[in-house]
């Protein structure tokens, strides 16, 4: 199956990491430990999710490349 | 520091706007490149310094004393009583004043900082989600690590030659090996003296109330 890359929902992920970066940037303005913890966890969580999703996309890319290489070898064997 | 982080955040915003609005005009390769850069570079550039900065502020004495439960412990730092270990260390600059709590309550090993952060999370859980204990009921969750004392005092002249440390043969070696604790020995067993301080404050308040009472009555009579 030939899926488009990057998929359209990457925009949601981009937005998620953007919000994450802004939350992290504002974390040290919070004055109570619970606020710092909440903002920091939310921000880093968003950033980590977006990075993990990007890594998943990359692994999919690599899988496609490996499949293509395997196909080349299989075709050459058939010849 | 914060200017750099906000600059990264705003460049990130511009990049995201550029990708979203210019998505259709980008070639597949340019899309890959832009997405990769935006998702990996900006969070690393922005979040690493801010994370380190935020983690650093958690070492501050003022941060530890933000919870009301710790107020009495904070007061003990400024006590005049020479029996109170915390006061002696704080008043004489034996520990950095900015990070007084962290200096004594964090183990000086590889994961000491991490363990302190986990302990901090436990404190936060008990403070916000269950009823926090009263200041005089607070107890240290595990026996105090004597190595935290020895990391500074061991080898110091006033520690090695102190009469009480050398009065018995082998006592100094026992202290150095952790076999004999400083706090449990009866020598330095008043860490913060919160219970005593609260009791003294209560007695002082009662005395003041008792001494104020006749004056008011006199005033009323006049």
Residue B49 has pLDDT above 50, yes or no: yes
A59 to chain B, minimum CA–CA distance in Å?
13
Q: What is the ipTM score, two decimals?
A: 0.71
Query: Which residues in B lie closer than 8 A to residue A31 (C-beta atoms)?
Result: 66
A and B: number of Cβ contacts within 8 A: 90
Q: Choose the most confident range, by mean pLDDT, from B93-102, B137-146, B181-190.
A: B93-102
Chain B, nearest residue to A41 by Cα: B51
Burial class (CB in 10 A: 0-12, 13-18, 19+), A74: exposed
Tell me: the pLDDT tens digits for A47-66?
889 888 888 888 887 777 78
A21 to chain B, minimum CA–CA distance in Å?
6
Measured between CB atoms, does B57 come within 8 Å of chain A?
Answer: yes
| Confidence at residue B222, expressed as pLDDT on a 0 to 100 scale | 44
CA distances from B23 to A47, A68, B9 (A): 21, 27, 20
Average pLDDT, chain B: 84
């Amino acid at each position: 199956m030939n899926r488009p890359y990057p998929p359209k929902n990457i925009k949601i992920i981009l937005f998620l990491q953007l919000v994450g970066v802004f939350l992290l940037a504002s974390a040290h303005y919070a004055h109570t430990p619970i606020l710092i913890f909440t903002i920091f966890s939310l921000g880093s969580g968003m950033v980590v999710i977006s990075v993990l999703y990007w890594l998943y996309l990359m692994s999919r890319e690599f899988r496609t490349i490996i499949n293509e290489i395997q196909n080349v070898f299989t075709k050459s064997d058939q010849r | 520091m914060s200017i750099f982080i906000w600059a990264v955040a705003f460049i990130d915003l511009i990049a995201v706007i550029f990708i979203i609005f210019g998505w259709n005009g980008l070639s597949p390769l340019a899309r890959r490149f832009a997405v990769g850069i935006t998702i990996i570079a900006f969070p690393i550039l922005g979040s690493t310094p801010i994370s380190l900065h935020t983690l650093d502020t958690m070492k501050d004495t003022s941060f530890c004393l933000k919870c009301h439960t710790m107020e009495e412990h904070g007061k003990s730092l400024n006590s005049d009583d020479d029996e109170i270990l915390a006061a002696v260390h704080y008043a004489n600059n034996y520990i950095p004043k900015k990070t007084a709590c962290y200096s004594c309550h964090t183990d000086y090993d590889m994961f000491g900082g991490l363990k302190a952060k986990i302990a901090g999370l436990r404190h936060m859980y008990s403070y916000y989600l269950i009823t926090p204990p009263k200041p005089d009921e607070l107890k240290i969750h595990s026996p105090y690590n004597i190595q935290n004392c020895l990391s500074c005092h061991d080898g110091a002249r006033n520690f090695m030659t102190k009469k009480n440390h050398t009065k018995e043969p082998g006592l100094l070696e026992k202290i150095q090996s952790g076999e004999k604790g400083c706090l449990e020995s009866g020598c330095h067993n008043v860490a913060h003296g919160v219970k005593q301080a609260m009791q003294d404050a209560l007695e002082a308040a009662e005395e003041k109330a008792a001494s104020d009472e006749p004056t008011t009555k006199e005033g009323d009579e006049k």
